[in-house]
Structure 1
Amino acid sequence: MDQSTFENDRSKNCVLESPICDRLKSEPCWLGIDEAGRGPVLGPLVYGICFSPVAEKEKFKEMGFADSKTLTEEQRENIFTKISDNGDMMGWMVDILSPGYISRSMLRRAKYNLNALSHDSAIGLVKRALERGVNVTEVYVDTVGDPTKYQDKLKGIFPSIDITVAKKADSLYPIVSAASICAKVARDRAVKSWVFAEGVEIEGNAYGSGYPGDPLTKKFLAGNIDPVFGFPDFVRFSWSTAALILEKEAAAVAWEDDEEDDSSQNSGSASLLQFFKKSGDDAKLERHRFFSDRALTPLSSL
């Protein structure tokens, strides 16, 4: 798995994929979806898919796939090598979502929560596989949120595909286990090889697992906060763990535009923003940001 594209710019998301053999295009295939790194406050979130001909299900099961969380890093690497070496009967794709992208998405004005982000990544990978010509007839997904609602959502997007969404799908379906391993290997490598653009120097695995409860992760966060610029891009600053440290340790920020609005209202003087309005604009007719963010327009007739 060559991750040089992501490593060239870790601030951007990156999709990596294997070659796709003719069998995957001509024979009906089952496809599994899983993620790695949903909970950590550090590093990227990675979604992965793996697909193989339905006719190879029994042989696929015999390859010894298991939920990536139950395996050591060495075991995951060995199994991923096995996946790569069997390109004549399987393929994979991973979507690496950068920490900065996750935080910006979750904190933007029109909220984009982690569940929606996860759904969109999974859906995007399935669409990409179909665009590459993979003959997907069955999809198995480790759920994010309510399984029934998620399954209905996927079925509405892919009506011709048999879709199964389940809790702990990575322990129930080998194809999901394989996807889990692909995602986990990609995240492990991304975290292990992370180079800090901010110049932070790290010896060994000084930040631990990246989960908020990990003592090494807590120590890393406490020791790498700038009072003005906050955390390195490696940190998901939208997580409450990071937000609490910022609130306590970072410099307070005064938003002067807000103060100006307040003072202008109290003093009766005009806000600076008034000078940028077009003549004839009626503030009463200005649409709320809620509607413009969602491209909603008035309904004039039924």
Structure 2
Amino acid sequence: MKRRTDEEISRPLYEYDSAVRAEKGCFAGVDEAGRGPLCGPVCVAACILDPQDPVWGINDSKKLTEKKREALFEEICRKALAYSIVFVGPEVIDRDNILKATLGGMRQAVEQLDIVPNLVLVDGNRCPEGLAMPAQPVVKGDATSASIGAASILAKVSRDRYMAELDRQYPQYQLAKHKGYPTKLHYELIARYGIQPFYRRSFLKKQGYWPEDK
């Protein structure tokens, strides 16, 4: 079976964006990474791509290798008309819940763009409130829209880099291996070493682990 080129992978996503742009003009794609982990921030990115200078290879970040994501991250940052990356920490997640924290991060990411878009496309089925422009949810948007796919790559790589830095500071938790997600190994390490300020206490409580006892 012939392997698809980067352009063949991304062209349908760019065609989707072209149709949106023809109707609405300038628009931004928004996505997040890190809603499910037990620790660390949720990372949100907003991105306005340049249709005249495409980044071939863009796709849902989960479908790409780490090496490919890293390369695309640099190219997106270099070629995008505007982009913004926001981290929302565990204290906000615990206070507001993960959905509100994520939607708040999305609003902040859009507001920090250097260009004001006419429309915001958001991966998933919910949009942040309080935006100055219309927003539209797109289910599986990171595999549908190049702009949302680009945002998913920016968010995923940024969060993975953050967790790699935490891993250097707290090697006992092996964060570089599981990125904070609830694996069997991660739970074993929490039981052994307790929790740190970067843990989401609300998530641990839901899993039946009570950090106050540690």
- Common fold by TM > 0.5: yes
Under a length normalisation based on structure 2, what TM-score does the superposition of the two structures give?
0.76
User: In 2 relative to 1, CA 221–207 (structure 1 residues): closer, same or farther, beyond 3 Å?
Assistant: farther
Unaligned runs of 5+ in 2: 1-24
1:176 to 136, 148, 151: 148
- Quote the residue 1:94 is aligned against: 85
Count of residues in Structure 1 that have an aligned counterpart in Structure 2: 190
* Cα offsets for 1:109-142 (capped at 9, x unmatched): xxx222222211111221222xx3x141231101
Q: Give the letter aligned to residue 99 of structure 2.
A: N
CA distance in 2: counterparts of 1:240 and 1:187, whole angstroms: 20
CA distance in 1: counterparts of 2:171 and 2:164, whole angstroms: 13
User: 2:174 matched to 1:211?
Assistant: no
User: In 2 relative to 1, CA 241–139 (structure 1 residues): closer, same or farther, beyond 3 Å?
Assistant: same
User: In 2 relative to 1, CA 83–201 (structure 1 residues): closer, same or farther, beyond 3 Å?
Assistant: closer
2:119 to 138, 156, 169: 138
- Quote the residue 1:190 is aligned against: 162
SS at match of 1:189: helix
Contact 1:41–1:242 (CA<8 Å) still a contact in 2?
A: no
CA distance in 2: counterparts of 1:181 and 1:240, whole angstroms: 27
RMSD value, Cα: 2.7
1:40 to 24, 37, 60: 37
Unaligned runs of 5+ in 1: 1-27, 106-111, 226-230, 252-302
Q: Note the C-alpha offset of 1:207.
A: 5.5
Q: Note the C-alpha offset of 1:170.
A: 0.7
CA distance in 1: counterparts of 2:41 and 2:185, whole angstroms: 18
User: In 2 relative to 1, CA 196–233 (structure 1 residues): closer, same or farther, beyond 3 Å?
Assistant: farther
- Quote the residue 1:221 is aligned against: 190
1:244 to 205, 208, 211: 208
- Quote the residue 1:281 is aligned against: none
Q: Note the C-alpha offset of 1:208.
A: 1.8
Higher RCO (C-alpha 8 Å, min separation 6): 2
User: In 2 relative to 1, CA 241–91 (structure 1 residues): closer, same or farther, beyond 3 Å?
Assistant: same
Relative to total residues, which structure has the larger helix share, 1 or 2? Answer: 2
Q: How does 1:1-302 map to 2 (within 5 A)?
A: 29-53=26-50, 56=51, 59-60=53-54, 63-86=56-79, 89-103=80-94, 105=95, 112-129=96-113, 132=114, 134-143=115-124, 147=125, 150-151=126-127, 154=129, 157-158=131-132, 161-194=133-166, 200-202=170-172, 205=175, 208-212=178-182, 214-225=183-194, 231-240=195-204, 244-246=208-210, 250=213
SS at match of 2:180: coil
Q: Give the letter aligned to residue 183 of structure 1.
A: A
The alignment-based identity, stated in percent, is 28
Which is greater in Rg? 1
CA distance in 2: counterparts of 1:163 and 1:238, whole angstroms: 29
Under a length normalisation based on structure 1, what TM-score does the superposition of the two structures give?
0.56
Contact 2:42–2:89 (CA<8 Å) still a contact in 1?
A: yes
* Cα offsets for 1:139-183 (capped at 9, x unmatched): 11012xxx3xx45x65x743xx45321211111101000001001
CA distance in 2: counterparts of 1:35 and 1:175, whole angstroms: 13
Which of 178-187 and 237-246 deviates more?
Answer: 237-246
